[in-house]
Amino acid sequence: MTPREMAPGVFSVGVVDWDRRIFDELVPTPHGTSYNSYLIRGSEKTALIDTVDPATFADLTANLERLGVEKIDYIIVNHAEQDHSGSIPAMLDRFEGVKLVTDQKCRDLLIDLLRITEDRVVVIGDGDTLTLGDRTLEFIIAPWVHWPETMLTYLREDRILFSCDLFGSHYATSSLYVPDEGAIYESAKRYYAEIMMPFRASIKGHLEKLATREIALIAPSHGPVYDRPAFIMDAYRDWTGDGVRNVVVLPYVSMHGSTRAMVDHLIAALVQRGVMVQPFNLTKTDTGDLAKALVDAATVVIGAPTVIFGPHPQVVSAVYLANLLRPKTRYATVIGSYGWGGKTVDTIKDMLGRLRVEFLEPVYVQGYPKEGDFAALDRLADEIKKRHEEAGIIPA
């Protein structure tokens, strides 16, 4: 992608990766992604905000050549993860004398991950500034967004926040700015769910800190630039807040139809009671979609058959994911079927130990569900409706 000017002397020089479909060998990226890097030409000094994934280093250097960049004084390192920092060694070789500017924890990680030498790094603290002449960079230390060393960079004169992973989205587009708020909302929510949600409390505090600054543009390291910052900041306030929606997320696997019969019955019972349901067949589900659904769902019901003596492995994976992401879900339970025994319910309950949920009475049956089992599912639907009513999230 060719360089684009965001403000006088401020350019987007990063790379769009249209074809990337998996990130960190873990996160599906159905819409591709971008590795955003930004060049700031001050009257005295030039700074580059973050670099790009090493596989796209040639594209970054091509963009710098198009702008006639022969010298870079500083590379601002907001985050040490390699999709942003991985091209730093090559940049240090290419631009003699360039200094890395980052915080202490990030410096230590750069040394460990990239074998950067200490003499190439200038360490800054929260609130410190760096002058480029007519431009001033202010550094905001923001740990656990989503690593412990993350920081943000604020260009005071142009009111641009370079937010690195915060507010990002895996969304490849030829547009510099958000082209479609609806599409970006969904991609940004998915991105938040996959990597930011476990650190909800920390991010909430960082949002409060940012509220004291006037921000004209938010320039993240993935996805398009926000020329209406309130759009994404309001979304983050919603996602990091304590409110939940009248939704049951229902990930499940059914090996021989018994658990599926229970899932279908519970879905119908919940819908009849005014409760929304989002089912996910784990043999077909994109884990990013499941993570996104967990962001603000009030209840999670796990549909799990027993394999030998415990839950189906794909259920184990989904439960592990939910426990890792720590959504603000309030209630959880298990439904499913077993053949001759096992401890599926106890195993799943133990695996959800990081979630602050109330565990509702499970419905776990032997073989294909009988009339009494379906009645138990109706009672579970009644209980979920009651809890949602008590939470004030079922519309009158």
The answer to whether residue 395 is domain-embedded is: no
> Is pLDDT of 225 > 70?
yes
Contact 210, 233 (CB under 8 A): yes
φ and ψ at residue 79, rounded to 5 degrees: -160, 140
CA distance 200 to 234: 14
Of 31, 33, 32, 35, which Cα lies nearest the Cα of 13?
35
Number of domains in the chain: 2
φ and ψ at residue 277, rounded to 5 degrees: -130, 135
Q: Which residues pair with 139 in a beta bridge?
A: 153
CA distance 273 to 97: 67
* Tens-digit pLDDT profile for residues 132-160: 999 999 999 999 999 999 999 999 999 99
Q: What per-residue confidence (pLDDT) applies to 272?
A: 98
Total count of residues recorded for the chain: 396
- SS3 state of residue 368: coil
User: Which is more confidently placed, 28 or 334?
Assistant: 334
CA distance 339 to 201: 42
> Once rounded to an integer, what is the mean pLDDT over residues 50-63?
97
Q: What per-residue confidence (pLDDT) applies to 334?
A: 98
Last residue of a domain, one of 191, 212, 240: 240
Q: What's the pLDDT band for 100 if we cut at 50, 70, 90?
A: very high
* Tens-digit pLDDT profile for residues 250-307: 999 999 999 999 999 999 999 999 999 999 999 999 999 999 999 999 999 999 999 9
CA distance 315 to 321: 10
Tokens 């004398």, residue?
Answer: 97
Could you tell me the CATH number of the domain that includes residue 57? 3.60.15.10
* Tens-digit pLDDT profile for residues 70-91: 999 999 999 999 999 999 999 9
* Tens-digit pLDDT profile for residues 1-21: 799 999 999 999 999 999 999
Query: In terms of domains, do 252 and 229 share one?
Result: no
Query: In terms of domains, do 70 and 202 share one?
Result: yes
Range of the domain at 58: 4-240
Last residue of a domain, one of 221, 240, 259: 240
Contact 36, 165 (CB under 8 A): no
Contact 76, 162 (CB under 8 A): yes
Q: What per-residue confidence (pLDDT) applies to 395?
A: 80
Helix, strand, coil percentages (3-state) for the chain, rounded to 5, are 35, 25, 40
Between the CA of residue 220 and those of 44, 210, 320, 354, what are the distances in Å?
Answer: 25, 14, 29, 30
> Is pLDDT of 396 > 70?
no
Q: What per-residue confidence (pLDDT) applies to 259?
A: 97
Q: What per-residue confidence (pLDDT) applies to 318?
A: 97
**In the structure encoding, which two tokens stand for residue 258, read together?**
């018994």
The answer to whether residue 392 is domain-embedded is: no
> Once rounded to an integer, what is the mean pLDDT over residues 307-314?
95
Query: In terms of domains, do 236 and 258 share one?
Result: no
Q: Which residues pair with 122 in a beta bridge?
A: 101
Contact 131, 150 (CB under 8 A): no
Query: In terms of domains, do 221 and 265 share one?
Result: no
CA distance 63 to 247: 46
- CA atoms within 13 Å, Cβ hemisphere of 375: 3
The answer to whether residue 119 is domain-embedded is: yes
Of 204, 108, 220, 90, which Cα lies nearest the Cα of 153?
220
Q: What per-residue confidence (pLDDT) applies to 1?
A: 73
The amino acid that residue 49 corresponds to is: I
Could you tell me the CATH number of the domain that includes residue 355? 3.40.50.360
**In the structure encoding, which two tokens stand for residue 35, read together?**
């590795």
> Is pLDDT of 25 > 90?
no
- SS3 state of residue 345: helix
Q: What is the mean pLDDT of the chain?
A: 96
Between the CA of residue 330 and those of 27, 167, 294, 295, 352, what are the distances in Å?
Answer: 25, 25, 11, 12, 12
